A and B are shown apart, each in its own frame.
Chain A
Amino acid sequence: MTRVLIPSGALGLGFDHDALMKGVANKPDIIAIDGGSTDSGPAYLGQGVSKYSSASTKVEWRDLLLAREKAGVPLVIGTAGTCGSDQTVDWLFDLTQQIAKEDGLKLTVALLYSGQTPDVMASAIESGALQPLPAAPELTIEIIQSCTNIVALAGAEQIQKAITTGADVIIAGRATDTATIAALPLMRGDHPGAAWHGAKVGECGAIATSQPNTGVIQIDFDDTGFTILPLADDTYATPNSVSAHMLYENSDPFLLYEPGGHLDVTHATYTALDERTVRVEGSIWVPGPYTVKLEGARIAGYQSVSIAMLRERRYVENVQTWANDIKVKCHAKASQRLGLSASDFQIDLRLIGVNAVLGNMETQTSTPHEVGVMGVITAPTEALAQEINKMLNPYLLHHPLTEEEPMPTFAFPFSPPEMSRGAIYEFCMHHILTLNDPMDAFRLEVRKLANV
């Protein structure tokens, strides 16, 4: 039997401290937490930074390091710093060093790096080791070379390798959401279908329970299944809450692909052991070729944004015509004055209150009493994006619906109105890489912190 304590769905989201202490008192074999997701977009991987504040992360990470100290078991985090880049592994290691020094902790830390070099990826394309998944964008060697970060998603094997070093703390770069939870149960011979299925249920912390915000859950894995128990007071796991979790952020509700195979939960059974504990059996692990998924991000231009607001009824009623006219005129002016060709840059005017969320897919047509106009300029450099945005300003401020009317003036919330967003990024890989040895695409380093 392997008992895994899961403090939260992600470091930085917060968790119930008392529930965590209860989990420590229950003598877990390991504490595992996820540190990331692609869900907030490509900029984090592109820049190699965390979504969450360093201060919040440090407060929560300290709590976990002290819980680990008390429990005397390994603490493992996967996809450190939102994107799991080499930079964010180093960032979390730096916070770990600070905490160890401040609290006098003696720690051995294993660092698992998932970063890939463009050259190795380019030769993997040529050898056929790198293959697209469904709905993948076109990938060329040129695109690979332009990535600011490429990571491979580690599976259980790489996490196990890090556990085997005997480290107190494992900071892993990009890994599958499930790998850090499944690694130890698999290593100790627990049921493989149960290990992956339990890990999938647990990777979002308490989201598969009645109170998702409490974070802390405990999963016991054994040779026939797993048992999930939420640890905060008055929080319940039910067969429905647990089985429904396979739906979450997963395109197939029965299958989950991992390095080296896939999980099939078609025949899983969910049984309430008491009013808050659920037992799951019958999930199957189907071994397959050893592949790891890749993620890459690159700069896709530079953006500058302006916001103007319209309250005058006639303009609100005709805002689409007004915006279309501005777009055409400003685009022509910018092309001419900056010597750019039409496809070098884009001017997008999103009408907040009309169709800003759904764009062309919007079918509702009611007239609001005010409209926000978000001008989004995308250009090849930051300076050009700002220049074009400055050319847009007189239009957003004063553009009349017809030539014959007095010049209108619209509301601007800021001075200056142009907000540079700097580089924008795009995900450009949805591919898998075949490996001969699971460690072929990963690097493991062990550091000792003696701050006593």
Chain B
Amino acid sequence: MSELGDLAEKVRSKNAGPFWLTIDIFCGSPDRFAHIALHLNNDYIARRLAVSVTDIKRFDIPDLNVIKISLPRPSIQGTRNDRDMHGAQWANILAEMEMPDMG
């Protein structure tokens, strides 16, 4: 098994306004894009980020070899329970996700 962060070129997350989080997975090549798109599981993402799977918007963008995932922020930006004002560290949850090695 590999971690997504090792398979992809870059995994980043950022606020898309105070109420949404957006995660971009830059896969780096068409075969990595196909491999990651196949094994990236929306249910797993929803469970790990504590949101409902129906709230997840996912865009597989072959032209850029990018997978984009947007979801309501696990905590609204800047509220008492929020720990990450810019939402940039949540990407690590996905980067550490286990996935089969490239064939």
Residues of A within 8 A of B (CB): 38-43, 133-137, 240, 243-244, 247-254, 295, 300-301, 346, 348, 350, 356-361, 363-364, 378, 424-427, 430
Main secondary structure of the interface of B (DSSP, over half): loop
* A361 with B49, Cβ < 8 A, contacts A38-B17, A247-B24, A426-B79 known: yes
Flag if B14 contacts A43 (CB, 8 Å). Answer: no
Flag if A253 contacts B68 (CB, 8 Å). Answer: yes
Which residues of chain A have C-beta atoms less than 8 A from B49's C-beta?
361
List 9 A–B pairs whose Cβ atoms lie within 8 Å, in order of A's numbering: A135-B20, A243-B64, A249-B14, A249-B16, A252-B59, A301-B80, A358-B92, A361-B48, A430-B17
Which residues of chain B have C-beta atoms less than 8 A from A135's C-beta?
19-20, 55, 72-73
* Complex-state Cα separation, A92 to B48, whole angstroms: 43
* Complex-state Cα separation, A152 to B61, whole angstroms: 33
Residues of B within 8 A of A (CB): 14-20, 22, 24, 26, 48-50, 55, 57, 59, 61, 63-64, 66, 68, 70, 72-74, 76-81, 83-86, 89-90, 92-93, 96
* Complex-state Cα separation, A240 to B70, whole angstroms: 21
Which residues of chain A have C-beta atoms less than 8 A from B15's C-beta?
38-39, 249
Contacts A249-B17, A357-B83 aside, 13 further interface pairs with beta carbons under 8 A come to: A39-B85, A41-B77, A41-B85, A137-B76, A240-B64, A244-B64, A251-B22, A252-B59, A350-B83, A357-B84, A424-B80, A426-B78, A427-B77
A12, chain B: closest CB distance, angstroms: 16
Which residues of chain B have C-beta atoms less than 8 A from A38's C-beta?
15, 17-18, 77
Considering only CB atoms, which chain B residue lies closest to A136 in the complex?
A: B19
Flag if B63 contacts A243 (CB, 8 Å). Answer: yes
Which residues of chain A have C-beta atoms less than 8 A from B93's C-beta?
358, 361
Which residues of chain B have C-beta atoms less than 8 A from A240's C-beta?
64
Which one of A134, A135, A378 has the highest number of Cβ atoms from chain B below 10 Å of its Cβ? A135
A272, chain B: closest CB distance, angstroms: 15
* Complex-state Cα separation, A359 to B82, whole angstroms: 10
Shortest 5 CB-CB contacts between residues of A and residues of B: A251-B70, A41-B78, A135-B72, A251-B16, A42-B78
Name B78's contact: one of A136, A348, A425 (CB within 8 Å). A425
Which residues of chain A have C-beta atoms less than 8 A from B90's C-beta?
358, 361
Name B79's contact: one of A133, A300, A356 (CB within 8 Å). A300
Considering only CB atoms, which chain A residue lies closest to B51 in the complex?
A: A135
B59, chain A: closest CB distance, angstroms: 5
Which residues of chain B have C-beta atoms less than 8 A from A350's C-beta?
83
Flag if A39 contacts B86 (CB, 8 Å). Answer: yes
Considering only CB atoms, which chain A residue lies closest to B21 in the complex?
A: A251
Flag if A346 contacts B78 (CB, 8 Å). Answer: no
Which residues of chain B have C-beta atoms less than 8 A from A301's C-beta?
80
Which residues of chain A have C-beta atoms less than 8 A from B50's C-beta?
360-361
Which one of A38, A295, A350 has the highest number of Cβ atoms from chain B below 10 Å of its Cβ? A38
* A251 with B57, Cβ < 8 A, contacts A38-B15, A39-B86, A135-B72 known: yes
Considering only CB atoms, which chain B residue lies closest to A137 in the complex?
A: B76
Name B76's contact: one of A254, A364, A378, A427 (CB within 8 Å). A427
B16, chain A: closest CB distance, angstroms: 4
Which residues of chain B have C-beta atoms less than 8 A from A426's C-beta?
76, 78-80
Name B68's contact: one of A42, A43, A133, A247 (CB within 8 Å). A247
Which residues of chain A have C-beta atoms less than 8 A from B20's C-beta?
135, 251
Considering only CB atoms, which chain B residue lies closest to A295 in the complex?
A: B18
* Complex-state Cα separation, A38 to B77, whole angstroms: 9
A139, chain B: closest CB distance, angstroms: 12
Flag if B18 contacts A42 (CB, 8 Å). Answer: yes
* Complex-state Cα separation, A243 to B19, whole angstroms: 24
Name B83's contact: one of A39, A133, A295, A356 (CB within 8 Å). A356
B32, chain A: closest CB distance, angstroms: 15
* Complex-state Cα separation, A126 to B101, whole angstroms: 56
Which residues of chain B have C-beta atoms less than 8 A from A300's C-beta?
79-80
Considering only CB atoms, which chain B residue lies closest to A426 in the complex?
A: B79
B65, chain A: closest CB distance, angstroms: 10
Name A253's contact: one of B59, B81, B89 (CB within 8 Å). B59
* Complex-state Cα separation, A424 to B26, whole angstroms: 36
B33, chain A: closest CB distance, angstroms: 14
Name B77's contact: one of A42, A244, A358, A378 (CB within 8 Å). A42
* A378 with B80, Cβ < 8 A, contacts A249-B14, A361-B49 known: yes
Which residues of chain B have C-beta atoms less than 8 A from A251's C-beta?
16-17, 20, 22, 57, 70
Which residues of chain A have C-beta atoms less than 8 A from B89's C-beta?
357-358
Which one of B17, B80, B96 has the highest number of Cβ atoms from chain A below 10 Å of its Cβ? B17
Which residues of chain B have C-beta atoms less than 8 A from A133's C-beta?
19
A36, chain B: closest CB distance, angstroms: 13
Flag if B61 contacts A253 (CB, 8 Å). Answer: yes
* Complex-state Cα separation, A244 to B15, whole angstroms: 16
